[in-house]
Amino acid sequence: MILSFSVVWFKGSRATSRNTPTVGKLSLVDKLIHDIIIAMIGQFKKKISAYIGLFADWLAVEKGYSPHTVSNYCRDIREFASFIDDDCLPADIGQDIVKNYICSLNKVNKPTSVARKLSAMQTFFGLLIQEREISRNPMIGVVRPKQGHYIPVFLTVDEVFRLVDAPGANDTYASRDKAVLEILYSTGMRVSELSGLNISALDFETEMVRIMGKGNKERLAPVGAPALDAVRRYLPQRQLLLRQRLERGRQTDTKPIFVNGRGSRLTSRSVERLVKLYGQRAGIISRVTPHSLRHSYATHLLEMGADLRMVQELLGHASLSTTQKYTHLTVDHLMEVYDKAHPMATGSIK
């Protein structure tokens, strides 16, 4: 509508500007009006990168995604925006552009990374359709790369014991670090969930913890006695760190259960670093991460006979198929069950 009005205005201006100085075939007035119209059109035709701020807000507020996920999705869209032509608008993007982009991704990325980037694009274009910036999602009908079967890395029970005992007297934050390791293994929570955990979420009487998971979905999980004892031993150090921060005149948040040396909330990156450090100290060959403790939690529950549906609830999985990847049991455990249950296991029929 604005564009139509501007074109009429532009045409009418020529009838009233015959005596105005000209530049080429356009008068100076016409040239000014022409530039204004182009600028007005440009305001309504934004490039992909112009929507990333809106995308980030939508993911955080409407979808309830974690800051880590929002950051990853926005980075994926920026990467796609840098791949396409500078003058390419959202409405100009078709399957041919998307397929060329996928080919470029496959050369330097793992299938799982490509799948995540395409998921970000699918979500992004879905938002543009919702905002009526485009009429069709260019991701529809695009064949996604096949992903191999992923078997989670998990620790044995003995390795977990060595890991949680790794913090020693010479470590400045030994009590905190041991509590972190115990809580991760006792509850199977994600590292982002542990970083965002508040002291009010842990109930020492009922031995339960309230976890805020993906999409702001809340769940309850039991906490083992060793983990609760570790947290109790850590709490005096937590109080000291918070008091020292307050004495320095810094704004102090007393909600986080786990804090760093400056008295502020312990970040996911810091948790990952300390888990890696103690994994190496414990002499564990495989790479130890907070997520491998989550894998170990699920695997050990299933080995002890826990129901798959129960494990799904404890882990906060929306789909049972996600939990089924933990049904890989160790060969020793399978052989043990076989020896006890199969009538032909010992070579004789009873």
Query: Is 132 one of the catalytic residues?
Result: no
CB atoms within 10 A of CB 300: 20
- Per annotation, catalytic residue among 178, 245, 300, 317: 317
Helix/strand/coil (H/E/C) assignment for every residue in 8-35: HHHHHHHHCCCCCCEECCEEHHHHHHHH
Helix, strand, or coil (residue 286): coil
Angle, vertex CA 130, rays to CA 126 and CA 135, nearest 5: 80
Q: Which residues fall within 8 angstroms of residue 228, CB to CB, at 6 or more apart?
A: 204, 207
Q: Tokens in use for 261? A: 């040396």
Query: Is 281 one of the catalytic residues?
Result: no
Query: Is 328 one of the catalytic residues?
Result: no
- Per annotation, catalytic residue among 162, 214, 265, 333: 214
Checking DSSP bridges between strand 202-203 and strand 26-27, what pairing results, if any? unpaired
Q: Tokens in use for 143? A: 């064949």
Query: Is 294 one of the catalytic residues?
Result: yes
Q: Spell out where the chain has E strands.
A: 22-23, 26-27, 202-203, 208-212, 218-222
- Per annotation, catalytic residue among 68, 291, 328, 333: 291
Query: Is 117 one of the catalytic residues?
Result: no
- Per annotation, catalytic residue among 117, 176, 178, 190: 190
- Per annotation, catalytic residue among 117, 238, 294, 300: 294
DSSP state of 256: B
- Per annotation, catalytic residue among 65, 73, 297, 326: 326
Q: Are 226 and 289 a contacting pair, CB within 8 Å? A: no
Helix, strand, or coil (residue 225): helix
CA distance 240 to 100: 56
Angle, vertex CA 296, rays to CA 276 and CA 73, nearest 5: 65
Query: Is 214 one of the catalytic residues?
Result: yes
CA distance 78 to 73: 9
Give the catalytic positions in this structure: 190, 214, 291, 294, 317, 326
